[in-house]
Amino acid sequence: MNELSLAGTPIEHFHVCAFFDSREQEYDVLIPFFKEALDQGEKTIHILNPANMDDHRERLIQGGIDAHGCEACGQLELQTWQGAYLDDNGAFNKDRMLVTLNATCEAAAEAGYSRVRIMGNMDWAFDDRPGAQEILAYEAEVNDVLSKNRQPAICVYDTAKLSGSMMMDLLRTHPLTLINGVVQENPFYTPAAEMLQELRNREAKRSATHAD
């Protein structure tokens, strides 16, 4: 059985990178994915900028989703960056987040959900927060967590915040891409072990340069 679908398009992988030029484009593309999950009795978790929480809920409602009802029954869970990606001090730690994500997937399965679909807004990574430099290593390693639990996640990025090199690195950490509303296999995907080694090599080179 296919593990993920978006607006009727079946996909067999789990980790999707989505680039959007505007919030309008983002919701036009993602609301069918959210609605499909809820209509099928699945759980869906959205990790958001706390400043956008009310707007996000309203956009779901405008898209035909009973956000309040689904939140009340636990099927829809809206989380802020704090407590998910970020700790109480506003810092990111990839190992803590990987453990948190794994526990979230396991908890949903234990609660009887056949699937939990996770969407994470990644704007926090560009706010100069402590630990944000770990984002590429996290995106590489999270593939193993999602594959082990067989649960899909979409990482949402604002193209205005990305340099060309950063966008390419993010593409290389995701086996699937969602661009212009189309989910597809990513030809640039680099297996986690290879990507992590490259990141270590880059850091070693930077350290050597600074030492000189």
- Report whether pLDDT(197) > 90: yes
- Report whether pLDDT(212) > 80: no
Would you say residue 7 lies in a domain? no
Segment 118-132 mean pLDDT? 95
Segment 72-86 mean pLDDT? 96
Q: Can you give the CATH number for the domain in which 69 is found?
A: 3.40.50.300
Q: What is the pLDDT of residue 4?
A: 52
Segment 166-171 mean pLDDT? 96
Would you say residue 176 lies in a domain? yes
Would you say residue 5 lies in a domain? no
Please tell me the least confidently modeled range out of 4-8, 96-100, 132-136. 4-8
Would you say residue 96 lies in a domain? yes
What domain range is 24 assigned to? 12-211
Would you say residue 157 lies in a domain? yes
Share the mean pLDDT of the chain: 91
Q: Of the candidates 199, 174, 204, which has an alpha carbon nearest to the alpha carbon of residue 189?
A: 174
Q: What is the pLDDT of residue 5?
A: 59
Helix (H, G, I), strand (E, B) or coil at 85: coil
Would you say residue 199 lies in a domain? yes
Contacts of residue 11, defined as CB under 8 A and 6 or more positions apart, other chains included, come to 2, 3, 4, 5, 152, 176, 183
More confident residue, 108 or 13: 108
- Sheet harboring 182-185: ordered strands across? 76-80, 43-48, 116-121, 153-158, 15-20, 176-179, 182-185
- Report whether pLDDT(10) > 70: no
Q: What is the pLDDT of residue 208?
A: 85
User: What is the number of domains present in the chain?
Assistant: 1
**Is the CB of residue 129 less than 8 Å from the CB of residue 92?**
yes
Pairing of strands 4-6, 9-11: antiparallel
Give the global pTM.
0.91
Would you say residue 16 lies in a domain? yes
Which tens digits make up the pLDDT trace of 107-120?
Answer: 999 999 999 999 99
Segment 40-68 mean pLDDT? 97
b/e string for 79-91 if b means 16 or more Cβ within 10 A? bbbeebbbeeeee
Q: What is the 3-state secondary structure (H, E, C) of 37-81?
A: HHHCCCEEEEEECHHHHHHHHHHHHHCCCCHHHHHHHCCEEEEEC
Pairing of strands 43-48, 76-80: parallel
Would you say residue 4 lies in a domain? no
